[in-house]
Amino acid sequence: MKWYEGFRINPLDPLLSAKNPALSYFVSLDLLGDAIPPIESLWELPEPARLLKKQNNNGSWTYPGKTSDVELGTNHDLLQTFRNLRYLVEKYGFTIQHSSICKAAEHILSLQNKEGDIRGILGNQYMPYYMGAILELLIKAGLHKDARVEKAMHWLLDMRQEDGGWIIPLQMYKITYLYEVSRDAPILPDRSKPFAHLTTGMVLRAFAAHPAFCQKVEVRKAGELLKSRFFQQDAYTGHKSKEYWYKFSYPFWWTDLLSAMDTLSKLGFTKEDKYISRGLNWFIDNQNEQGLWKAYYESKVDPEANLWVTLAVCRVFKRFFDG
């Protein structure tokens, strides 16, 4: 059976009618396998050009909102740089062949500590979930062989819980504790505590993107944990509700069913797996009348948000059904 034959409505129909040239490019590349122009053709589009115009000389982007906790050591510009890099890499295929991405990557990696991690979004505290999400983008941009990236990947492996997953150490306490400890030495995780699927899903995205690290036994074990938590609430506060499994966004940010299935589709799991099968069936059962799936976070600001989420769903099905 072809990947789209299980749907009530073929999602290719609305995707092929889209007017966005970047979206159409990836539909052709990833779903149809058509011959297409070089990826650099997307780099000159108006949308990425507007983002690049706002980039600082040091490679970062300035956070536009309130920064009332700057005195606590929080690096808001790192968060904004991550946010914009998501769009450039995931929606427009930017790589380090573009000078702006090179500058952004160098800025991010300049913040790396001797231990191998990067901090700032949680003050001076460890942030393995953002580490995974940031490394995914750097790897996709072409930095998988960079020694600093490899050091960061090893740091993530060293930060695992006894069960093989990951947590945000600060999650062991009330979030207000951040204001007491943000400048202190990072809190170490209690390794005996259960994994957080929010954190584990975001960390695994980096491993799924890396051509060598994706094959590690430890990564496979963490993937087993992630899928076992489908449709359940998380073990910690912060995105704890079951509802977060269905709050989709593209490019990915938090762990949801779509981002988790995307990761597991790259790690060698198959559609015959009972957890994967449940995930696939959820998407089949929840396709809307337009043949799409709904974006949660970007839907109010991006009229094509549902189409991007649908493209991500189709990529998942194509990997599981077509290999």
Domain ranges of the chain: 38-286
Kindly tell me the burial class for residue 207, based on how many C-beta atoms sit within 10 Å of its own C-beta (0-12, 13-18, 19 or more): buried
pLDDT at residue number 157:
98
The domain defined by 38-286 folds into: Glycosyltransferase (1.50.10)
Choose among 187, 221, 177: nearest CA to 72: 177
Q: Which residues of 57-68 are buried (b: 16+ CB within 10 A; e: fewer)?
A: eebbbebeeeee
pLDDT at residue number 301:
78
Kindly report the backbone phi and psi dihedral angles of residue 316, in degrees, each rounded to the nearest multiple of 5, phi listed first.
-60, -50
Cα 254-63-136 angle, rounded to 5 deg = 35
- pLDDT tens over the chain, length 323 residues: 799 999 999 999 999 999 999 999 999 999 999 978 999 999 999 999 999 999 999 999 999 977 656 666 789 999 999 999 999 999 999 999 999 999 999 999 999 999 999 999 988 899 999 999 999 999 999 999 999 999 999 999 999 999 999 999 988 887 676 677 777 889 999 999 999 999 999 999 999 999 999 999 999 999 999 999 999 999 998 899 999 999 999 999 999 999 999 999 999 999 999 999 999 999 999 999 999 999 998 877 789 999 999 999 999 999 999 97
For the record, the structure tokens of 89 come out as 């890499």
CB 278 within 8 A of CB 284: no
Helix residue spans in the chain (DSSP H): 12-16, 21-26, 46-53, 76-86, 92, 99-110, 128-138, 147-158, 178-181, 197-209, 217-228, 257-265, 274-285, 305-322
**What number of other Cβ atoms are within 10 A of residue 116's Cβ?**
19
Choose among 203, 304, 312, 198: nearest CA to 251: 312
pLDDT at residue number 184:
81
CB 80 within 8 A of CB 116: no
DSSP-assigned letter for residue 174: -
